[in-house]
Structure 1
Amino acid sequence: MKNIIITGTSRGIGHELALQFANAGHQVLAISRKIPQTLLGNINITCLSVDLSNEKELSKVNDFLSKSWKQIDGIVHNAGSLILKPFSETTQDDFESIYKVNVFGVANLTRIALPYLQNGSHVVTVSSMGGIQGSLKFAGLAAYSSSKGAVITLMELLAEEYKERGISFNVLALGSVQTEMLEEAFPGYQAPISASEMANYIFDFTLTGNKYFNGKVLQVSSTNP
């Protein structure tokens, strides 16, 4: 049994992932702004309502960890925020709101978790093909895609900084997955992979990927991008 933190569990990949880990007997700390009824009542899931864009709210995570968990075996930074706007209309406030979730939220949660991470722990960050240098880019996603590029570099740096402690940091750069966020951004587009299917992959990678990778970015996409 492992202790796993997952963010963005109110819907989509994060929701499916929380259920998969819990059903496999692992203990899950499910973090999202809204707590879905479908996760409540599961004896292996603890739900916390946290706005990752607000650093002060992360004190709830710190309080839980200090009282309930002695160690963290895995983190899946799955939560994400997206704005689809022409760059000429994308304000600094827009950029800041995206970066607060996609970059600062990842950094702040990881910092809080560090005292509980140990040799063999695996931190997995869900990025996007849009954040990969040289990949096909979509107009209107300047804030989102650049934030996903920033978090890739952050994880590479942390892998180097904490390699002596045996903590692994890897990134999965996803292509299109059929989630509510994708439907909201691109109505009518049908992705080739469902949220449940991608959750299957991330579940296995979180448990075993650190045996083979550290400080790496894996492109998980069957389409371009």
Structure 2
Amino acid sequence: MEKNMNENNIQVNLPVEMILKIFGYLSYDEVSKTRLICKQMNEVASDYLNAGFKTAQDQLTKTFREIKDGLPRRESERRKHPLYPKHDALVGLDTRISLLRMTYNKYIAAGLCCFIPGKVLDEIFFLLKKVKILPKLPSTSLLLQEVRDISSMAMEHFDEAIVPSFQPDLVTVIERSIPVSDFEPQITVQQFEPQSTITMKQMQRDLRNLKQTVQRKNNQVRKLSLIVKRHKKLL
């Protein structure tokens, strides 16, 4: 890889196609770290990470449909079916992805950032692969523990450390109309079967995390509203 270094400015003289080819051999976590190399790598890696997040959502929807098609129509038979634990795992994974969408999508749509946590993407794809390949899954709680932990840490860090740095530009974010569909779950509630085997404790924890996320968003909206008012007074 040819690099020209001018003090703190690094240029990578490679065509985008070649960079994408290299990314194909890396994990998403490794790709996310290449954003620090230079502006070109940041732009290409950002698009690659955003595309990866979209692909993860598409694969989740496709896998869920495949699992659902393999389940019996009768509820009494469905809950005893070997595929039902996979159904539960996908329900839990969709909850995580929905929270990630709520956290990142409006900023991605506004061009302020990309889907930063590549490690979360790696774990999502790993879980989807497990669901498709393994004939029998461990408990949903154990299966989703890692993705719950790292996604929660990623969202918390994003809200507390990264979002505040956007404030000078967030007036534009508010004035732009981000479609509500960007925040809807990839799998709708109507697609889920009732009486999931996910424990009440897990559901309460996910609900608590969701409420905390919504509260943080409400606080951000209030702060941004003040910024807009101040901005209008200066005009």
TM-score by length of 1: 0.32
Between structure 1 and structure 2, the one with the greater Rg is: 2
Give 1 or 2: higher strand fraction: 1
TM superposition score normalised by structure 2: 0.31
Structure whose residues are more often helix by fraction? 2
